[in-house]
Amino acid sequence: ASLPQYGSFIDDLRLYVRGGSGGMGYPRLGGEGGRGGDVWLVAHERASLRAIKERHPRKRFVAASGANSSVRALKGEKGRDCEVQVPLGISVLSEDGKQIGELNTAGERCLVARGGLGGSLATNFLPCKGQKRIVHLDLKLIADVGLVGFPNAGKSSLLSKVSHAKPQIADYAFTTIKPELGKIMYADYKQISVADLPGLIEGAHANRGMGHKFLKHIERTKQLLLVVDVSGFQLSIKTRFRTAFETILLLTKELELYKEELLRKPALLAVNKMDLPDSKDNLSELMKQLQNPQDFLHLLPEEVVPESTMKFKDIIPVSTYTGEGIEELKTCIRKSLDEEADKENEDYQKKKLLLLQTSG
């Protein structure tokens, strides 16, 4: 099999779904027609939106009609349901953008179109049509850690260094077009999934570049790992050069403008390209700025200064070129996730205790 081309990753699909019609009633004997089948979406680990599109180019899913009532069977059989296998991490939206449901674990089901009722005394023995609608399947990657950074921060290289992913790495600014998932394997067999998402650019919240697609995927990651180039970053000849500190503020601003609660996620910072000349000086400058960010906000124009600055649980200098700091980064990611899981567990136990006390 050849490598999938850029852009083959689909994270949004429109489907037409229709429940089956009910069956005819039997006026003479008061017989009821069968109900039409329903259309269900079922989460499946091996499913993908691309596969649905390839297998069903018309993207139409219609359930079977209910059986008519007859002398032999006064109560008609229900029509067969139609089941569509969808990947995990799907939000199901109606045509006008309202959420119908979410599918996050294998086997979860979501009803998207009901079958019509069969003909009976109440309906003058005439059957009803099934519900029909357009639904949008919106895929968000579910990963433990989401890599956040501007193009060229070295996210793809970092992903291939820490995990078993083999992202395609190009040497121009807009490199990762489709999300890449990698897994970090630990000696005790624990696995942590890391998603490298399409590079963020200034103005992503306003949907420049891959903006919204990118930010949408971040919502589902448990933690963020910001990756910045220690020597700073310049998007193009037209944009200003940004230092590592300014880059962090800009990334924070993008996340904040899209959804403030993203900043409440636990975050780590990887300062990459420590093999470059002057990187030690740049790093100590950055550390100084991160300790008192308020003192340095004046460096940026007001409209790009975030309301709140980001707090990092750990700051790890790395070089994907020499391998410096990579093992430490893996350890920090693991520690951070374990701590959060313990905290959640504790909160859960506390809530349970409280419930017991109040109900007692």
Question: What is the location of CATH 2.70.210.12 in the chain?
Answer: 12-139
In this predicted structure, what is the pLDDT of residue 315? 96
| pLDDT for res 309 | 86
Arch. (CATH architecture) of 143-344 = 3-Layer(aba) Sandwich (3.40)
The top-level CATH class assigned to 12-139 is mainly beta
| pLDDT value of position 258 | 78
pLDDT along the chain (360 residues), means of 10: 41 92 95 97 89 93 97 96 92 91 91 97 95 91 82 82 66 50 83 74 54 68 92 77 89 85 92 93 94 87 85 95 94 94 88 84
Q: Give residue 346's Cα distance to chain centre.
A: 26
Q: How far apart are the C-alpha atoms of 181 and 76, rounded to whole Å?
A: 49
Q: pTM for this structure?
A: 0.66
Nearest 10 degrees: Cα torsion 119, 120, 125, 129: -20
Say what the pLDDT of residue 6 is.
Answer: 34
To the nearest 10 degrees (0 to 180), the angle between helices 244-258 and 211-218 is 80
Look at residue 56 in the predicted model and tell me its pLDDT: 95
Cα 63 to Cα 25, 90, 155, 334, distances in angstroms: 19, 21, 45, 46
Quote the pLDDT of residue 172.
40
Strands (E), 128-218: 132-139, 145-148, 180-185, 191-196
How far is Cα 217 from Cα 228, in angstroms, rounded to an integer?
19
Tokens of 204: 């992503």
pLDDT at 210: 52
Q: How big is the chain by its Cα radius of gyration, in Å?
A: 26
* Collapsed DSSP state (helix, strand, coil) of residue 228: strand
